[in-house]
Amino acid sequence: MSRILYISLISILLFNVMACGDSSNKNNTHDNAAEGADKAKTITLTKAQFEGENMELGRLSQQNFPVVVEVAGTIDVPPQNKAIVSAFFGGYIKRTPLLIGNKVKKGQPLLTLESPEFVQIQQEYLESFEQLNFLKSEYERQKSLVAEQITSQKNFLKAESEYKRNLASNNGLRQKLNMLNISPENVEKGILVSETTIFAPIDGSITQVNVSKGMYVSPSDEIMEILNTDHIHLELSVFEKDIMKIKKDQKIRFRISEASEEFYEAEVYLVGTSIDADSRTIKVHGHLHDDENHNFAVGMFVEAAIITENKNITALPVESVLTLDDSQYVLTLVSEGNDGRIFESRTVKTGDSYNGYIAITDLGELKDNDQIIVKGGFNLMGESGGHDH
């Protein structure tokens, strides 16, 4: 029953505070009318009532509020942490056991390609390798003969040319085999294969698979994508008008607006030096704090605030300010006695809120040393129409 009484009293109190500003009704100057208005602005609470609602008193204080630049961007990874897997030579997919989401290590087999072209390259290498042994012997023989002036310089130069031309061709074919992950040593032994394996170029997780078994892929096709999220970062877009305020090591507060209301921390690491001609924005690269303990996904959209400076601002705890009909009020202690505590509502204007405090931009009749209900005031509002600021 007492709680209902508080609610009724504070509702009447705040209603009359707003009504006091309306002087257009009647030009009534009687003393008893003024006295009635003064009484309507106050409320009395007993000690038991005050403590029963867990109320607390406090005063205005100077709080450190950040000055921020609001930006947007995405979660991303450095270029070296992203790999597109493709084939150096065309072929048919023979095996592809991995799926999107599978984690892989650098050097782990990803898929197997098969093609008659692979056999042809090995045949050409083997023929070149066998011929190279003969041409090398001929080259060395002619070199000895010309030194002894037994043969002509022309024969020597011809043998040298044939040997070096074949050596270049052999080295080129050897490099092709290495790119195909086919052992040249095995080919030299006569062991030829029709398939090749493609291995993971980096550690990470598979994020795209664009092929299926039996499909033909050419060298230009993107077979898979691998992302390593061990080092993710923020890629933010800052408008041209704000970029002069941004500097390295400034703090960033951001949230994944589509997934959570929780805020995370980062800091400015790199500031771009060129402006996008279409959007008139500059890229800012931010390093995350404690990114290992969060399941961020590359490409997530983020809303961020870059803190460019801090200012001391007069503020109160957010719970101190009561809002009713688009106006803000605080309850200040007028007097205290055996019968209880008398409070008076006073109108204020507020600004931004940060770290549990809200900036008071206009004190109105509020004084620096006034004691204010800083906790439990919303309980008085109850069901009377008040709501969070």
Of these ranges, 23-27, 34-38, 243-247, the one predicted with the greatest mean pLDDT is 243-247
- 3-state SS, residue 126: helix
**Confidence tier at 2 by pLDDT (50, 70, 90):** very low
- Residue 321 to residue 328: CA distance in whole angstroms: 6
**Confidence tier at 32 by pLDDT (50, 70, 90):** very low
Q: What is the pLDDT of residue 334?
A: 87
Q: Per residue in 13-30, pLDDT tens?
A: 444 444 444 444 444 433
Q: Which of 316, 349, 355, 337 is nearest to 58 (CA)?
A: 316
Q: What is the pLDDT of residue 338?
A: 78
- The whole-model pTM stands at 0.61
Question: Does 126 or 26 have the greater pLDDT score?
Answer: 126
Structural domains of the chain sorted by starting position, each given as residue range(s) with its CATH number in brackets: 1-77+236-389 (2.40.30.170), 81-227 (2.40.50.100)
Q: Is the pLDDT of residue 134 over 80?
A: yes
Q: What is the pLDDT of residue 373?
A: 87
171 CB-near residues (< 8 Å, 6+ apart): none
* DSSP conformational letter for 259: T
State how beta strands 281-288 and 42-45 pair.
Answer: unpaired
Quickly list DSSP for 79-108: GGGEEEE--SS-EEEEE----TT-EE-TT-
151-155, 270-274, 300-304: least confidently modelled range: 151-155
Rg of the Cα trace of the chain? Answer: 39
